[in-house]
Structure formats: C-alpha cells, structure tokens
C-alpha cells in the first residue's frame, strides 16, 4: 500500500508540472504574437508618416504624433561642426505643406523593439528629392501606445548629405521604381 500512495503522489505532481508547463508555454506564445503585432503596428505609424510627407499632408503628419512630440535633427555645417535643431511635430509638418518636389524617405532596414506601451524604431534611411538622393542618415523614433493607437512621441535623425554608402546610393533605382 505505501508504494501505491507514493506512485499517486508522483502522478499528481507530474500532472501539475505538465499543466504548469503547458500554461506557461501558451502565455509565452500569446505574448510573442502580441509583441510581433505591436512591432508591426508601431512601424506602420512611421511608414505612414513617410507616406504623408511624400503626399504633402501636414495635418496627417501631426496626427501621427503626440501633442508634445519633438523632433531633433543633427547635421554638420561646412566647417564640420554639429548643428542640432529641435522642433515640434507641427513645425516639422509645415516643411511638407507646399509641394516643391517629389519626396521619398526610405528607412530600408528598421529595427523595432517593443516593451509594453513603448516602441523604439531605429535604422538608416535614404531621403530622395525629385528622384535624386538628397541625404542619408539614421532615424530613431520613440512611440507610445495611446487610446488612439501608437503615436510618435519623439524622433531624432542625422542628416548626412555626404554620408550615403555606395549601397544606399544604389537604392535609388530600387526605391524610385516603387
């Protein structure tokens, strides 16, 4: 009789362990799927902003940002000294109010990280004006989840007119064909 009780205890313990494992696995899969959806949704906001820039729609650009959003542009002057400009999203959007040329920003290999209601998107980009490379650089976007969905809370970009790699210069034909 003592062996039967011992076997029953082992079976019950094993059932609990297997149940706990299956439950943990299900939660992990669900969490991973949610993070993938969040990453896709956050990146879609950044891509939508690029589309609205190209479409010269400043109100739509502003709507993709939080009311307090600020953007930082980092560039070099002729002497090689860094110039840093910080502007509000609304002021940034005014750059696209009047169509002066065809614009296209291609952030070609973005890296997306999500942690709860915060997302970070980072990567190099090529900016085209009239089908020609104007400059390249690095974009870094911080997004927050709001009741209205993901919104850009802040962004920083380098603007490097002479900083395009040969591969980035070659992207022109690929991107212009889109």
pLDDT at 178: 46
The per-residue pLDDT of the chain, averaged, comes to 86
Which residues lie below 8 Å from residue 178, measured CB to CB, with a gap of 6+? 104
- The yes-or-no verdict on residue 114 having pLDDT over 60 is yes
pLDDT confidence bin for 25, thresholds 50/70/90: very low
Give the Cα separation of 10 and 52 in Å (integer): 63
Q: Which residue intervals of the chain are DSSP H helices? A: 2-54, 58-63, 89-93, 166-176
44-73 per-position pLDDT tens digit? 999 999 999 999 999 999 999 999 999 999
Q: Which residue has the higher pLDDT, 114 or 177?
A: 114
Closest CA to 96 of 129, 139, 121: 129
pLDDT at 13: 67
Residue 13, both tokens: 């313990």
- The yes-or-no verdict on residue 2 having pLDDT over 60 is no
pTM of the prediction?
0.77
In this structure, what is the dihedral angle of CA atoms 174, 51, 139, 98, given to the nearest 10 degrees? Answer: 110
Closest CA to 95 of 107, 84, 105, 81: 105
134-169 per-position pLDDT tens digit? 999 999 999 999 999 999 999 999 999 899 999 999
Average pLDDT rounded to a whole number, residues 25-52: 77
Exposure on the CB side of residue 128, measured as CA atoms within 13 A: 24
What is the CATH number assigned to the segment(s) 2-176? Answer: 3.10.450.50
pLDDT at 115: 97
């Amino acid at each position: 009789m003592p062996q039967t009780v011992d076997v029953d205890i082992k079976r019950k313990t094993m059932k609990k362990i297997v149940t706990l494992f299956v439950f943990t696995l299900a939660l992990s899969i669900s969490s991973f799927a949610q993070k993938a959806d969040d990453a896709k949704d956050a990146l879609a906001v950044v891509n939508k902003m690029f589309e609205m820039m190209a479409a010269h729609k400043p109100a739509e650009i502003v709507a993709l940002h939080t009311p307090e959003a600020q953007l930082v542009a980092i560039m070099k002057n002729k002497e090689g000294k860094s110039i840093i400009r910080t502007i509000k999203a609304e002021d940034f959007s005014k750059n696209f109010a009047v169509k002066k040329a065809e614009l296209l920003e291609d952030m070609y290999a973005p890296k997306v990280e999500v942690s709860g209601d915060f997302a970070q998107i980072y990567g190099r980009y090529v900016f085209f004006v009239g089908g020609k490379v104007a400059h390249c650089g690095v974009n870094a976007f911080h997004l927050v989840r709001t009741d209205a969905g993901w919104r850009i809370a802040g962004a920083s970009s380098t603007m490097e007119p002479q900083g395009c790699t040969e591969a980035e210069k070659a992207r022109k034909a690929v991107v212009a064909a889109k």
